[in-house]
Each structure stands twice: as structure tokens, then as C-alpha cells.
Amino acid sequence: MELERMGQLAKAASRSLMKLTQPEKNACLVTIARNLVDNTDKILEANAKDLENGIANNMPESLQDRLRLTADRIEGIAEGVRQVAALDDPVGEVLSMKSRPNGLMVGKKRVPLGVIGMIYESRPNVTVDAFSLCFKTGNAVILRGGSDCIYSNIVLVDIIKKSLEENHVTPDAVFLLEDTSRETATKMMQMNEYIDVLIPRGGAGLIRSVVQNATVPVIETGTGNCHVYIDATADVEMAVDIVKNAKMQRLGVCNACESLVIHKDIVDAVAPKIIATLKEKDCEIRGDEMMQSYDSYVIPATEEDYATEYLDKIISAKVVSSVDEAIEHINANSTGHSESIVTKDYDNAQRFLNEVDSAAVYVNASTRFTDGFEFGFGAEIGISTQKLHARGPMGLEALTTTKYIIYGNGQVRP
């Protein structure tokens, strides 16, 4: 189907999704979960084709792992859909309603965004996940996944469409771009008439490409050059634990720590321990001269290192003379995702919270908690690193907008 036509149908579908009740939407989600599990064999067959192509194209083992589905993983995806069904629906809430002196009642109501465009890479679970969150909030969605995953995606979207039809809901609530060319993706990013919001999910290159090419409003997600700052008064053991967790608990994630900042008054106490801990885990350390002085394991850091999201067993490290210098260094190099201070000092904790300009700022905790589930939203469509609309982990509310509803009895403007 032509992209323009998809846009028209998705827009039309979004008008009818607006009118669905919560039980109607939840019934669809429960059907989808059941049909995913019931069609396990069919999904695995399509996924095997994607994997075969991937192997033939020398796809790295780590990407193969992201792409690979198993019966257990399909059950996991279905369970995710059931959990979304169980969440509260934010749509329809009237956030405020005030009476004006002229008698007008002006209310602000939460409503669906309309049509959401998702552009993402080769993880088939995102296909179902993104659909279920968009649908739960009354939105139609156009999915553009990676070519590596196309056979899996076609089957998954087909199961979703049939499940919607089973519930007498329009299957136009979801479209998959089977043409995964760059040109078609760019065209999709400029369909302002039919798409209300684009959400890219994937690596820095994908996100940059969407930000550069889109005329449709974008919610930028993702890249995290996250910092842990160890203040002069930090508890040494806590600092080591937090750095170890934030850097090593999971490597390829946006909320992992990529850069370490240490106050000079505590560096003698913490640097040797941190270096030993990271060395034991084979994590490369790129540090300034002071850091290098503790162990020849530490190699010199360039200015570029301080601005790099490694997503790997590498960390940069720098010693500073004050909390001011730490904050300045972080604001200059961070991607605005998550940063943490380890301190016992009340004023420095407050200053860090106030002055570090990132989506999530922590005192005495690992940056790894920046996540919709960890924050208690029950869902996550991505983590916004921009400042418009949504910042930080995005749950269901980020997939809604508001409208003003005004009740009058003949008011005209004097």
C-alpha cells in the first residue's frame, strides 16, 4: 500500500479509536496476547527467515540475539500486552475545569495524540510493545521497523490486525511499512498532514537522521552519556557500588554510566578501589593525568572521550576541584539523560539537583533506575532527552495531548 494512503486510513482510524471505551480497548489487547501465543509456530517460522538472512549478511551475534524470538520470549511479549491492558487509561481525564467571570467554563481534557509514527531498529518486541501502548491511549500507529526484522514484523502486525477485527475494531489502527527503504522513511517523516508525532527508537545514527529529516514533530529519545559524580564527602563504599552498578550492570543501555567525575579531596580514597573493581570486570578506563597516576591500567582520555556514549566496557574519568567544576563539566558533556551525585553534603546535593540540566538527576543512587517501570509508570515507550512535551521515561501520558473544552450559553467577546 502506498504511504500516503496509509496515512489517510490511519488518520481516519484515529477518529474512531478516540471513541472506543476502556473495556473495548482492553478486550482487543487481551485477544492480541492470546493470538500471539496461539501463533507461536508461525511467528518463529518468520523469525527464523529473518535470522537466516541476518546470518547470511554477517549480522553480529549481539544483534542476532536482539532479533531472535523463542516461545518464551513470545510469551513474554504477550504478557507485556496483558500488563498494558491492566494499566489505567489516562485518556478522557479532565485535568482542570474553571469558571471564568463571563460564565464560560474552560476545561482541559486529556485526549489521544492521533497518529503516531514509530521508527525503530531490529527488535520485534518493539513492534508489539509500541502498538499496545499507542492503542491503549487511543492512537493509530504507523510502524517502520528495520529491514532485518521484516518477516517477523509482518506476521506480528498481521496477528494484531486480525485480533482487532475479531473485536470489530478497525485494523487500520496499525500499519507496518513493508518498504523499509530510506526514501520511504524520509517521506514518512514529512507526512505532517497525517502523522501527529514521530518517536524514533534506536541508535544515535537513527535518531539523528529523524531529527534532521523530519518536519513532523519528533520526540527525541535515547542517547545517554550519563555521569556519576563522587563528591568530597561521599561514602566510599556506596560510591564504588554505584559506579560498578551504573557502568557494569548492563552495558548497551542508555542509562548506563559512561563518565565518572571525582572530587580531588576523595580521589585517593576511591580511585584505587574503583580502578580495581572495573579492571576486574575488564572495563577500560580513560582518565585524566590524576587518574592515570593511580594505575597504568588507566589510559589517557581525550576531550572527545568525555562526550562519548560508549555502550561498552569503557568509561571516561576526570578529577575536579569543586562541585561547581563537576556541574559545569557535566552540563558541557552530558546528553541530558541521567546523572548522579554521591555525597553526604546537603548543599551540594541540592545544588546538583537544581543545576544539572538533565532529564533525571539522582542523589546517592545508580543512574540505571531511569526507566518507566522503575519510576512506577507500568510502561515505557522510550526515554525522552529533549525538553518539549515529555522529558525522561515516557509512560502512557506521553502518548496523549490535551484539548480545551469550553461550555458557554451564548457568550460573545465584547
Which residues bind to a second copy, rule: CB under 8 A? 15, 18-19, 98, 100, 104, 106, 113-114, 192, 196-197, 211-212, 215, 217-220, 235, 238, 241-242, 244-246, 249, 331, 353-355, 357-366, 368-370, 374-376, 386-389, 391-393, 401-413
Q: How far is the CB of 340 from a second copy (least distance, A)?
A: 8
Q: Which is nearer to a second copy, 129 or 220 (CB)?
A: 220
**Greatest C-alpha distance within the chain:** 80
- d(CA 24, CA 55) in angstroms, rounded, equals 42
Question: What's the Cα-to-Cα distance from 219 to each of 80, 118, 126, 379, rounded to whole Å?
Answer: 23, 10, 16, 17
Q: Residue 111 or residue 159: which is nearer to a second copy going by CB?
A: 111
Question: What's the closest the beta carbon of residue 364 comes to a second copy, in angstroms?
Answer: 4
**In the complex, least distance from residue 300 CB atom to a second copy, rounded to whole angstroms:** 26
Which of 243, 253, 268 lies closest to 223 in space, CA to CA? Answer: 253
Question: Nearest approach, Cβ of 242 to a second copy (angstroms)?
Answer: 6
- Return the number of the residue (154 or 365) whose C-beta is nearest a second copy: 365
Beta strands 314-320; 284-287: pairing state: parallel
Q: Which is nearer to a second copy, 167 or 331 (CB)?
A: 331
Going by the DSSP 8-state scheme, the letter that residue 88 receives in this structure is P
Question: Beta strand 115-120 with 197-201: parallel, antiparallel or unpaired?
Answer: parallel
Helix 40-56 and helix 71-86: axis angle, to 10°? 120
Angle at 348 between CA 337 and CA 240, to 5 degrees: 65
CB of residue 124 vs a second copy: minimum separation in angstroms? Answer: 25
Nearer to a second copy, 106 or 290 (CB): 106
Q: Which is nearer to a second copy, 215 or 321 (CB)?
A: 215
Q: How far is the CB of 397 from a second copy (least distance, A)?
A: 11
Query: Within 13 Å of residue 247, how many CA atoms lie on the same side as its CB?
Result: 29
Toward a second copy, which CB reaches closer, 63 or 311? Answer: 311
* Nearest-approach distance from CB 128 to a second copy, in angstroms: 24
Q: In the complex, what is the shortest distance from the CB of residue 256 to a second copy, in angstroms, rounded to a whole number?
A: 10
Q: Between 64 and 386, whose beta carbon lies closer to a second copy?
A: 386
What is the rounded CA–CA span in Å between residue 91 and residue 85? Answer: 14
* Alpha-carbon gap, residue 89 to 93, rounded angstroms: 9
Residue 238 CA neighbour count, 13 Å, CB half: 15
| Closer CB to a second copy, 219 or 285, in the complex | 219
Instruction: Tell me how far apart the alpha carbons of residues 229 and 355 are, in angstroms, rounded to a whole number.
Output: 13
Q: Do 366 and 242 form a contact (C-beta atoms < 8 A)?
A: yes
Give min distance, CB of 48 to a second copy, in A.
Answer: 33
| Cα distance between residue 298 and residue 155, in whole Å | 49
Taking the complex as a whole, the smallest distance from the CB of residue 196 to a second copy amounts, in Å, to: 5
For 83-237, list the strands marked E by DSSP: 94-99, 105-112, 115-120, 140-144, 174-176, 197-201, 226-230
| Strands across the sheet containing 197-201 | 174-176, 140-144, 115-120, 197-201
| Closer by beta carbon to a second copy, 56 or else 332 | 332
Residue 344: strand, helix, or coil? coil
